[in-house]
Chain A
Amino acid sequence: MNPSEIVIWFIGAGLGTLLLGLLLKWVDRKVTARVQWRVGPPWYQPMVDIIKLMGKETLMPVTARGTGFLLAPVIALATMAVAATILWRSLWDPSSPFLGDLIVVIYLLAIPALMTMLGASASGSPHASVGASREMKLLLSYELPMFLAILVAVARSGWTFQLGGLVTAQAQTGPVVFSISGALAMLIAIICMQAKLGLVPFDVAEAECEIMSGVYVEYSGPALANWLMTRAMMLAVMPLLLVEVFWGGLYRQAWWGFLSFLGRYVLLVVLVVLIRNTNPRLRIDQTMKVFWFGLTPVAIVALVLALIGQAEGIAWL
């Protein structure tokens, strides 16, 4: 693929994911409002919020290390866009490898979290420092079960790390989720997605009523708008990753393929919103215990089941 084509894909996928993410943010807010017996905002509200924040002045605490503090959200946004491009591209055309594989995507998706921590550290605020340490511990918590869950999919789809390969393998053998190990892995991945998105019950790094938005406490104006856009994109990208890895990707040969993809995708988003609205926040130590001592053993069981299924040729295991 020539460079100009790559750049066009990048800009298209980046902007598209951003708009989609903001729309999903509206879904989130709307459903949340309905759950709480409110009306909720109109569909364009998240976009208006971003534009409004863009017009505000930038405040920076006197304790901040300016360059790092202001550069971190932009790097996060750019990385997020690249990760989104890889995922959309491999969904659209699984046959040719593009930019990077699944491992690359996992690592690229960790960079926004890393930038959150660096930006928070650079602000010099104690609330943000506590938030940064929690963000890191959260990352450690979900990374382990998340990777095990992904390995289940990798083991079931021909042992490849290439996203296209995973999608193609599922087109032949059926989605990973339609098996005991696959369903368990997907369940774990959904909970990990919740943590990755930093939503209740795993929003320890922000925790408005404990540490005043923690990692974002000192951000305002365009810098804050950057963070909100990054998080909106994350909201659009994580369900996409799950659909690709566990739930068969996109079937392009018929119109219902697109419809089915849309259904699975929206279902995952709504699930995220419902989890966030029906749970209380966990403390950071509880979070770590949930992931390391609760979900990790389950993920290991799922992996063992998948390996047994592969070795014995039992498709439903």
Chain B
Amino acid sequence: MNELADQLAHPLLLPIVIAFVAGAAAYVLSRLWPMGCRLIALAASLLVLGSGICIFYRGDELVGWQGLTFGWHWMTLTPDISLTVNLATTMLGMVVVIGSAAFALLITIYSLRAMRGEYWEGKYYAYLIWALGGACIVGLAENLLVLLVGWEIVTLMLFLMISQGPRDAKAGGAKTYGILGFADACLLLAVALLATLEGGSANWSLSKVHDVGSLGSLGYVIYALILVAALAKAGAIPLHTWIPAIAKDAPTPVMAYLPAALDKLLGIYLLATLSLRMFVVDWPLRVVMMVIGAVTILAAVLMAMMQHNLKRLLSFHAVSQVGYMVLGIGTGTVIGIIGGLFHMINNAIYKSNLFLMSGAIRRATGTDEIENMGGLARLLPVTFVCGSISAVAISGMPPFNGFVSKWLVYQGTLQVRQTSPPLAAALVTVAVFGSALTLASFVKVMYSAFLSPAPKGAAYVTDRPKESVFMAVPMIILALACVILGLWPGLMIDNVLAPVVGAGADDVTTANLAVQTDGLGYWSATQTTGLILIGLLLGLIFVFLFTWKKRIRVVRPFLAGEVAGEADDRWRVPGTHFYETIGKLPIIGALLKHGEAGAMDPYHWSQRHGNTFVQLLRRLHTGLISLYVAWALGGLVIILIYLLLAART
């Protein structure tokens, strides 16, 4: 008993135990005391964050990185295969733990307002904390089997959270569970296959390096299976469709928490662990990954541009951005991998913030449809500013964080030219153009939601909705993170990413506040931003001197001689019309139409063809007993023949 207590007190178990105990407490209290659930969720995410940070620093300074490990032997199945719980800290794993805890904390604060009064509020907090616990297991796991357990917990919590939504989200939930369940099954299969290799369960260790090529075809199969799991969780094409499917109906905090933040961290973490630690990846596999990344970037962003529902639009961007991470990691170059991992962190920050923005908009207007919004810049100034910063960051505009990571990915991709110049040129073009399309999509959002006039008769204009403090604080923190990581990318690159990748001194330097990559690129965010600010100041002083003592006269807008009243819909151009020209272009228009019809969706195919198969089976089940007896006899005959054949040999 004492031994168990000792083991439970191990620092690495701390965040996991806290999360699961707190989750259970919240679940028990869910009906009785919602306020208690809120407090528990807040306290638990704070404690997990704190314990994560403690592990990070103690591990760094006192114990040394590889020293902080936990191992508990559970049982031995065969001489080769034994089940053990192994935990260890790695730099990237700690990023997952600390990042997940930080997002859990911010989303909890946001939910204090957003989820207040929902009939399942208490349970929601329980699921949220359990999902955090699952993410901690994944981040700390040293063993693929342990990782799989955490992985499953997060999937299950996602499913529970989206199918509990206020509106009917069952279909999307089923699709999600279909795709993610399939991915988890792939991971399980990979675990089983690894155990059959020489060495048995020792192969599960994440720090054991396998060479894909030397394992033969089995190595590729195992790699592909884990790759499927990672890409489905992160949401890369073609396993992305669950994200848009749940976007409309799932509660916004859930979208901001799981598909936007945690699932990206976990999926890309597994991808990075798979490609950088577990396997030595060869060139064909890297090409596959890079192509998946590039296709994801382009296809998803084109779909996003055409969406009329804000959350659905954001969900397609959540897919598109994954492309940059997969592309960056797939390049196999130091700069590309740093860029890909940096993009994982940045994307979690601004994508989560954009979903929070959509939640604030929905709370104010009661709608997610872009054409029913408008004029919110005046009503929701904090949401507007934070949303704009995130939107500009996701579009990769300097000087925000999205720019730095995309810029690194471009350069990493360009380095692929050492093996294949045409591929490098094609991929970097796709990546840059995808970024321009992202900007287009968000110009539409900013215009429609915030800047365009409100639609006629919109109830929210007269209600004058106000910002909620609980919802504003997380948005402000995330927007600030976008700015800080954009201006001082060295914080992340020097302290976290370069050590993870094992970057040499020549690959990327961050001296003098500038990021310099090996003879390729140069970017000094602080100096450039400083100059822009100086220019802005000078410009404003200049304008101020000229307009001294002159007032700004407010006039009616020019409408080609017409007089328009307040909120006159005749003169309102909804943002949904912005890119109709593109939808009508040859080739691209057709692609978009097929995309919308589910041409890229394996779930859709399996539904269609699976249905035919099921119908066939149905026809055989007529209910006549003689037919069933015939079936049973037929089966018996087959078994007999098999046994006879087996007995002969």
Interface residues of A (CB under 8 A from B): 3, 6-7, 10-11, 14, 54-55, 57-66, 68, 70, 74-75, 77-79, 81-82, 85, 97-101, 103-104, 106-108, 110-111, 114, 117-118, 121-127, 129-130, 132-133, 136-137, 139-140, 143-144, 147-148, 151, 154-155, 159-162, 165, 212, 217-218, 221-223, 226, 284-285, 288-289, 292-293, 303-304, 307, 310-311
Contacts and interface: CB of A to CB of B under 8 A. Distances in A.
B519 A162 contact: yes
B65 interface: no
A103 B407 contact: yes
Given A101-B520, A104-B528, 18 more contacts: A57-B550, A62-B555, A63-B453, A63-B557, A64-B557, A65-B377, A78-B532, A99-B528, A110-B397, A110-B439, A111-B397, A127-B560, A136-B440, A144-B429, A144-B433, A151-B428, A218-B557, A222-B543
B395 to A, nearest CB: 8
A222 B536 CA distance: 14
Contacts of A154: 414
B524 interface: yes
Interface in B321-358: none
Contacts of B422: 304, 307
Interface residues of B, number: 78
Contact of A60 (B397, B432, B436, B554): B554
Interface stretch (B27-35, B149-157, B187-195, B581-589): B581-589
A158 B513 CA distance: 26
Contacts of B201: none
B645 interface: no
A289 B557 contact: no
B437 interface: yes
A161 B581 contact: no
Nearest to B448: A121
Interface in B518-539: 519-524, 527-528, 530-536, 538-539
Contacts of A79: 532, 535
Contacts of B546: 54-55, 222
Contact of B573 (A117, A126, A155): A126
Contact of B557 (A11, A62, A74, A114): A62
Contact of A133 (B530, B557, B578): B578
A74 B536 contact: yes
B573 A129 contact: yes
A59 B555 CA distance: 6
B446 to A, nearest CB: 7
Contacts, number: 241
6 contacts: A81-B531, A108-B528, A124-B451, A136-B578, A159-B414, A293-B587
A226 B541 CA distance: 13
Contact of A121 (B425, B452, B538): B452
B581 A288 contact: yes
Interface in B453-509: 453
Contact of A62 (B397, B519, B547, B554): B554
A103 B410 contact: yes
B433 A117 contact: no
A161 B582 contact: no
B425 A99 contact: no
B558 interface: yes
Contact of B555 (A61, A144, A147): A61
Contacts of A148: 429
A222 B116 CA distance: 48
Contacts of A54: 543, 546
Question: Interface centre among A70, A221, A304, by most B CB within 10 Å?
Answer: A221
Contacts of A78: 531-536, 538-539
A18 B440 CA distance: 29
B425 A155 contact: yes
A3 B554 CA distance: 41
A161 B586 contact: no
A66 B381 CA distance: 12
**Nearest 9 pairs of A and B residues by beta carbon:** A78-B535, A61-B557, A97-B522, A129-B573, A121-B451, A74-B539, A54-B546, A133-B578, A121-B447
Contact of B579 (A70, A75, A137, A223): A137
A100 B522 contact: yes
Nearest to B528: A99
B552 interface: yes
Contact of A7 (B378, B398, B429, B534): B534
A126 B559 contact: yes
A132 B523 contact: no
Contacts of A70: 552
Nearest to A152: B425
Contacts of A99: 522-524, 527-528, 531
Contacts of A59: 552-555
B642 interface: no
B436 A140 contact: yes
Contacts of A97: 514, 516, 522
B540 interface: yes
Given A54-B546, A132-B443, A310 B528 contact: no
Contact of B521 (A63, A101, A133, A139): A101
Contacts of A107: 396-398, 403
Contacts of B428: 151
Nearest to B540: A74
B410 to A, nearest CB: 6
Contacts of A111: 397-398
B631 interface: no
A60 B535 contact: no
Nearest to B557: A61
B295 to A, nearest CB: 16
Contacts of B425: 151, 155, 303, 307
A155 B420 CA distance: 12
B553 A160 contact: no
Nearest to A311: B421
Given A68-B377, A124-B453, A77 B535 contact: yes
Interface string B410-444: 11001001000110010011001100110110011
B401 to A, nearest CB: 14
B521 A285 contact: no
Interface centre among A124, A139, A218 (most CB of B within 10 A): A124
B531 A310 contact: no
B539 to A, nearest CB: 4
A74 B543 contact: yes
Contact of A161 (B439, B520, B557): B520
B577 interface: yes
B582 A288 contact: yes
B571 interface: yes
Contacts of B581: 137, 284-285, 288
B190 to A, nearest CB: 37
B560 to A, nearest CB: 7
A239 to B, nearest CB: 22
B524 A226 contact: no
A62 B554 CA distance: 6
Contacts of A144: 429, 433, 436
A125 B559 contact: yes
B113 interface: no
B593 interface: no
Interface in B50-105: none
Given A61-B556, A147-B433, A85 B397 contact: no
A97 B514 CA distance: 10
Given A78-B532, A108-B398, A123 B403 contact: no
A132 B429 contact: no
Contact of A212 (B516, B554, B560): B560
Nearest to A123: B557
A195 B194 CA distance: 56
B579 to A, nearest CB: 7
B621 interface: no
Contacts of B539: 74, 77-78, 226
A273 to B, nearest CB: 28
Contacts of B555: 59-62
A164 B543 CA distance: 35
